[in-house]
């Protein structure tokens, strides 16, 4: 979701202070050079929750964070969703049409301290040619199905495509998506694998609406609202299933000009109803345009990773934050 946010670098830096400013150093490159994947250079910086601003529900603990700093034109800008791929790996997607993968770096206490092996892969059209048009490549949601297929949802030209297994990304095949006339830049922001044994997926629209899909089609769980939300309202921007239950975690984002940016995480039940706010990030603490979420079970806790989309805007940052929910 690319928004025309004003250049507020000075105000943002003054308000969204981080716990430390030391540089972690570059991520280690991938040891393999597989077809279609290219090393993506970046600088890593540790990030805390900053000045008071973050509100964590009882039982929620911050578990480390980093900022990913990349050069002009890097595929590491505009990251709009991420999912965990097992063994400490993750995959992300950008609204410019790139896949990005890497490995999470945790310290002895299990806190997030970095990422390694960052690499990018250009998404393709159905004929196998690389995406070159922004209207074709505005990827916003990402899911790894129970059978291991990589699904990507796009807006502008609204659709969901199946790119096959992450280990052998191929030309995509269309799969069912909600039969809804989404606004041009307000499509399926959240995508996640289903809990059911049908190898399905759940999609949420930025302006509202929840759908459960399989290869046989999509079923409306919650209809979109009759009146579209305003920019100053909370909107859905990310989704992943809860590995400890039958629900999901949903990310919501709110932007109120000129500088108020907020992100929060809430549980979502099977019927699409929303639970209490678990995490809220807002000024004067660390915040940005959070759009991606990935969940996994770690011991007695559920670990959430939140990813922000910097819109390739110098006034914004690509943040990856970890939280544990007990």
What count of other Cβ atoms lies within 10 Å of the Cβ of residue 216? 9
Residue 152 CB-half CA count within 13 A: 35
pLDDT band at 191 (very low <50, low <70, confident <90, very high): very high
pLDDT at site 13:
41
Q: Give mean pLDDT, residues 134-142.
A: 95
Q: What is 75-142 written as a DSSP string?
A: TTSSEEEEEEEETTEEEEEETTSEEEEEEEEE-TTS-EEEEEEEEEEE-B-TTSPBP--HHHH-EEEE
DSSP lists the bridge partners of residue 298 as 301
Report how far apart, in Å, the C-alpha atoms of 275 and of each of 66, 206, 255, 300 are: 28, 18, 21, 21
> Does pLDDT of 201 surpass 80?
yes
This prediction has a pTM of: 0.91
At 7 the three-state DSSP class reads: coil
CA distance 2 to 89: 26
- Domains, the chain, with CATH or none: 9-325 (2.120.10)
Identify the residue with better confidence: 19 or 63: 63
């Amino acid at each position: 979701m690319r928004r025309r946010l004003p250049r507020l670098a000075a105000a943002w830096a003054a308000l969204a202070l981080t716990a430390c400013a030391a540089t972690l150093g570059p991520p280690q490159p991938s040891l393999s050079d597989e077809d279609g994947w290219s090393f993506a250079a970046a600088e890593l910086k540790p990030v805390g929750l900053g000045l008071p601003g973050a509100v964590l529900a009882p039982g929620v603990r911050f578990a480390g964070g980093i900022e990913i700093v990349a050069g002009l034109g890097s595929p590491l800008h505009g990251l709009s969703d991420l999912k965990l791929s097992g063994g400490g790996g993750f995959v992300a997607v950008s609204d410019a049409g790139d896949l990005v993968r890497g490995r999470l770096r945790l310290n002895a206490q299990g806190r997030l301290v970095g990422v390694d092996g960052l690499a990018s892969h250009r998404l393709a059209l159905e004929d196998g040619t690389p995406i070159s048009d922004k209207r074709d490549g505005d990827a916003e949601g990402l899911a790894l199905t129970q059978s291991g297929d990589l699904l990507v949802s796009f807006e502008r030209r609204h659709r969901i495509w199946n790119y096959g297994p992450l280990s052998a990304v191929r030309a995509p095949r269309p799969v069912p998506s909600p039969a809804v006339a989404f606004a041009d830049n307000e499509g399926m922001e959240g995508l996640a694998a289903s809990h059911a044994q049908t190898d399905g997926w759940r999609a949420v629209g930025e302006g509202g609406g929840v759908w459960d899909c399989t290869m046989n089609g999509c079923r409306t769980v919650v209809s979109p609202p009759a009146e579209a939300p305003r920019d100053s309202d909370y909107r859905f921007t990310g989704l992943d299933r809860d590995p400890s239950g039958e629900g999901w975690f949903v990310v919501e984002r709110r932007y109120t000009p000129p500088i108020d940016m907020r992100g929060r995480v809430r549980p979502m039940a099977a019927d699409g109803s929303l639970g209490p706010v678990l995490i809220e990030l807002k000024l004067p603490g660390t915040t940005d345009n959070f759009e991606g979420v990935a969940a996994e079970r770690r011991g007695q806790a559920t670990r959430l990773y939140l990813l922000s989309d910097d819109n390739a805007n110098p006034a914004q940052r690509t943040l990856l934050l970890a939280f544990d929910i007990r």
